[in-house]
Amino acid sequence: MWVLSASASGCRWLGAVGSLAVAAGGYAAGTLPVREPWGIWAPRGSGTAVAAAVLAYLGLTLLVAAWWRYGRLLADGVRDRVLVTLAWWTAPLVLAPPLYSADVYSYIAQGAMVLEGHDVYGAGPSVLGPGDLGADAADSVGGHWTDTPAPYGPVFLALAQGVVQLTGGEIVPAVLGMRLIALAALALIVWAVRGLGGGPGALWLGALNPLLLIHVVGGMHNDGLMIGLMLSGVVLAVRGRWVLGSVLVGLAMMVKSPAAVALLFIGVMVARGHGVRGVVKGLVLPGAVAGAVAAGATLVAGTGFGWLRTQSVAGTIHTALSVTSDIGLGLGLLVADDPEPVKGVVRTLGLVAALAVIAALAWRAYRGRVDPVLGLGLSLIALVVLSPMVQPWYLLWGTVVVAAVAWRSRAGQLLVVLSAALVYETAPSGRTPWYGFVAAGVVLVLGLWWARREPWAQDSRPVHGPVVDRTVGRPRP
Q: pLDDT, tens digit, for every residue of 299-314? A: 998 888 888 888 777 6
Residue 420's identity, in one-letter code, is: A
In angstroms, the CA 166 to CA 134 distance is: 12
Q: How confident is the model at residue 45 (pLDDT cuts 50, 70, 90)?
A: confident
Please give the pLDDT value at position 461: 43
Say what the pLDDT of residue 133 is.
Answer: 87
Q: What is the pLDDT of residue 57?
A: 97
Lowest mean pLDDT among 79-93, 310-324, 329-343: 310-324
Closest CA to 256 of 296, 294, 303: 294
Burial class of 143 by CB neighbour count within 10 A (0 to 12, 13 to 18, 19+)? exposed
462: pLDDT strictly greater than 50? no
* The pLDDT value given to residue 466: 38
Residue 212 has pLDDT above 90, yes or no: yes
pLDDT at 40 over 90: no
**In 3-state terms, what secondary structure has residue 2?**
coil
Average pLDDT for 227-241: 96
Among the residue ranges 367-376, 398-407, 463-472, the one predicted with the least confidence is 463-472
Contacts of 99 (CB under 8 A, 6+ apart): 22, 23, 26, 30, 31, 56, 93, 214, 218, 219, 428
Tell how many helices (H) and how many strands (E) occur in the chain: 19, 0
Percent helix, strand, coil in the chain (nearest 5)? 70, 0, 30
Residue 275 has pLDDT above 60, yes or no: yes
CA distances, 114 to each of 82, 120, 368 (Å): 40, 7, 46
pLDDT at residue 340, rounded to an integer: 86
CA distance 205 to 221: 18
Rounded CA separation 292/438 (Å): 46
Closest CA to 375 of 365, 390, 386: 365
pLDDT at 274 over 90: no
* Residue-wise pLDDT tens digits, 170-193: 999 999 999 999 999 999 999 999
- Higher per-residue pLDDT: 336 or 455: 455
> What's the whole-number average pLDDT of the chain?
91
**pLDDT score at 288:** 96
99 contacts 428 by C-beta, under 8 angstroms:
yes
pLDDT recorded at residue 144: 76
pLDDT (tens digit per residue) in 81-133: 999 999 999 999 999 999 999 999 999 999 999 999 899 999 999 999 888 88
Q: Cβ–Cβ contacts within 10 Å for residue 99, how many?
A: 28
* CA 111 to chain CA mean position, Å: 20
Work out the percent of the chain whose per-residue pLDDT is above 70: 94
- Predicted pLDDT of residue 458: 56
Provide the 10 A C-beta neighbour count for residue 276.
Answer: 8
- pLDDT number for residue 163: 97
| pLDDT at position 29 over 60 | yes
User: Tell me: the pLDDT tens digits for 379-416?
Assistant: 999 999 999 999 999 999 999 999 999 999 999 999 99
